[in-house]
Structure 1
Amino acid sequence: MQASSLPIGYTAFVDRACFAKGSLQHVVTLAKNTLGDSQLANVLIFNDGTGKPVDVDFRGSTAAVLDRLRGESKEGHTSDTAEKENEQPPRKVGRPKLGVVSGEVTLLPRQWEWLKAQPGGASVTLRKLIDEARRVGESESQVRAAQEATYHFMTAMAGDFDRYEEALRALYAGNETLFYEWIDDWTPDIRDYVKSLASSAFKQEEH
């Protein structure tokens, strides 16, 4: 299953303690049904994928709160769908081409000679090079996304913690050992959530 198809999880905190995890509906329902108004005012819910806080209006009944969430979700989905449809180029009439697509590639003579000398020939070598470049690019994108998610949560919940700035610098410098050292004595629930967000924030050495 691809990561993009996985359901988005959410984590709720009351003050500095982790209160609930799960779908947004589950977390909101649990908070609404078990917490008093003063505690609800201190609830912060974070998107596990982006590390960003989610704005939830807890006024009214549980059903009313969930109805507002569904309405906001539907509006956002409709807007995203409309944008994607507008971006799509017009379809060409006729049967779609399947499999290999030919195209023009311009290279210097020495580059053609090198390609032709590779096992499988130029086409096979080019496909391998492209696949490898895509793999590296996707890995780097995953690292950047994890760094940004970790940054968003740390800024919201740990901005006044000791060695917060040092931890951020280690995060973006890719220094995994130092990063975990700086956050080791943070409030346990916040530290553990930071670790979960940062699990893909450092490039793994290939052996």
Structure 2
Amino acid sequence: MPSDTPPGKLIVFAAFKCIAQGNTADVLAQLRERKDDTPYLVFNEQTGELLDFDVHNRAGVVAHAASAETSEETPRGVGRPKLGVVAREVTLLPRHWDWLNRQPGGASVALRRLVQEASRVNADRDAVRASREAAYRFMTAIAGALPGFEEATRALFAGERGRFEALIGSWPADLRIHLQKLSAAGWSTTA
């Protein structure tokens, strides 16, 4: 997601308690109504990504925490921008280029077809990986000092749901509930 695109839904935690949730406008309103000054963390609700959130919304957008890093400019004028096609560099061995060029429609058509097929075939595995990574991002940002964090992380990536649930069982309720939501797709037995 580009750093200038706000996420769909946000969730905000202060001292392990969920204090706000919803779209950007809803969260802004909820945070502005707060009477205490407890520090809070704002996350993308679906990806678990920690966000840099300006409660005064001077910039008008929510930025990724990593947006301070320089982002690579997309080249203009190459590809078919109106169709969303962007030219990028692909490095292959000569025999790979030879094979691609022999395919019906040429290299671009063959690569698009290969990527589409791989996306379809690996959809379940990709969903499991995305779920585990979202849970891990969230855990790392907010729960790194909690008891059992490292073991819970190992259980998450090993796909050991029972062990993961047991390890986070003593964690604060709001934190645990959100972790269970983020990790739900990560327990697939088919991936």
TM-score by length of 2: 0.65
* Structure 2 residue 154 is the aligned partner of structure 1 residue 156: no
Partner residue in 1 for 2:59 = 68
The alpha-carbon deviation at position 89 of structure 1 amounts to 4.7
* Structure 2 residue 46 is the aligned partner of structure 1 residue 49: yes
User: For residues 15 and 138 of structure 1, do their structure 2 counterparts lie closer, same or farther at Cα, with a shift above 3 Å needed?
Assistant: same
Identity %: 31
| Contact 1:12/1:20 (<8 A) preserved | yes
Task: Map 1:82-121; keep pairs closer than 5 Å.
Answer: 86=75, 89-91=78-80
| Contact 1:170/1:176 (<8 A) preserved | yes
The alpha-carbon deviation at position 83 of structure 1 amounts to 5.1
Query: In structure 2, what residue type is equivalent to 1:38?
Result: D
The runs of 5 or more residues in structure 1 that have no matched partner are: 1-6, 59-64, 92-102, 106-126
| Contact 1:25/1:66 (<8 A) preserved | no
Cα RMSD, aligned residues only: 3.2
Q: Secondary structure at the match of 1:69?
A: coil
Query: In structure 1, what residue type is equivalent to 2:51?
Result: V
The alpha-carbon deviation at position 182 of structure 1 amounts to 1.3
Partner residue in 1 for 2:16 = 16
Query: In structure 1, what residue type is equivalent to 2:166?
Result: E
The runs of 5 or more residues in structure 2 that have no matched partner are: 1-6, 81-100, 104-112
TM-score by length of 1: 0.61
